[in-house]
Chain A
């Protein structure tokens, strides 16, 4: 039993928090039609992409992963003696390329010549479900940390 398992869960907590921040930002900007500098341009929905992490630094002491280098292991191989992932990382935050919402509002200062305003491609319902999913995943990892701590303290009582 080592403390590595805590680092794995901690990386997931961080990743889910970044996702939560992104969701919050998307929801906050559901009606934003201008860039930070004031020029017209709707907010584009952001999405977080996770990737699994395989690293030597977090590898276990039994040597199963000791030869594994950072990431250049194929995590999808079905081979036996596969490496155990050592965490999750936020690989990138990408912009969602779904089309923008067109709202007819000729009185809006950012309306085009036909009277349509380009609104952000944020779907508030999707953001809500993403938020619940991130929150549940966060809780699952908190439970996992709790269980790791219980196991560690049980080992301490031997």
Chain B
């Protein structure tokens, strides 16, 4: 794993955002378990996140193949620093810039809040099944905690690299 890689941090942060949003929806469902006619809400984000990861991975691959091409290109004179740039421009400057132009796909992430069409569990039309909500609550909290631990470990790893192994 690349210790200072932006992707793992970005992706885990998005996952935390999505889970926090879902947690809020579940909390609202639990709070309204006795409200007549209340319809439960749920948050969907996993598919979206998977798409973003996929997109970023493809981008990364493309980027690596570009730089590999630049580095090992036999017709590049190593003594000229401008050759790299020239080569880059020659190949496709536009595409390369696009690859380097930030990770805009991360900012498109927006968890989707939706009403589920669960059947009503009470005569007043309320469809909050409290057992289901409590299970979802604990699932969400556990996943959230797991990801925060993952992030903590990433930072700990960086810290160790900075301080050296004796620390």
Contact = CB atoms under 8 A, between A and B. Distances in A.
Interface of A: 1-2, 4-5, 8-9, 11-12, 15-16, 19, 49-52, 60, 62, 64, 75-88, 133-134, 136-137, 140-141, 143-144, 147-148, 150-151, 154-155, 157-158
23 contacts: A1-B16, A2-B20, A9-B30, A9-B31, A19-B34, A52-B35, A52-B38, A60-B24, A64-B110, A64-B113, A75-B37, A76-B37, A78-B115, A81-B112, A83-B41, A84-B43, A84-B113, A137-B34, A140-B33, A140-B134, A141-B30, A148-B23, A158-B151
B49 interface: no
Contacts of A157: 148-149, 152
Contacts of A9: 27, 30-31
Given A1-B16, A83-B113, A12 B32 contact: yes
B35 A51 contact: yes
Contacts, number: 134
Contacts of A51: 35
A133 B122 CA distance: 13
Nearest to A80: B114
- The B contact surface, by secondary structure, is helix
Contacts of B130: 136-137, 140
Q: What size tier do the contact residues of chain B reach?
A: 35 or more
Contact of A154 (B28, B113, B134, B144): B144
Contact of B39 (A11, A12, A76): A76
A49 B32 CA distance: 12
Nearest to A65: B113
Contact of A12 (B31, B37, B111, B151): B31
A76 B151 CA distance: 38
Contact of A158 (B31, B110, B155): B155
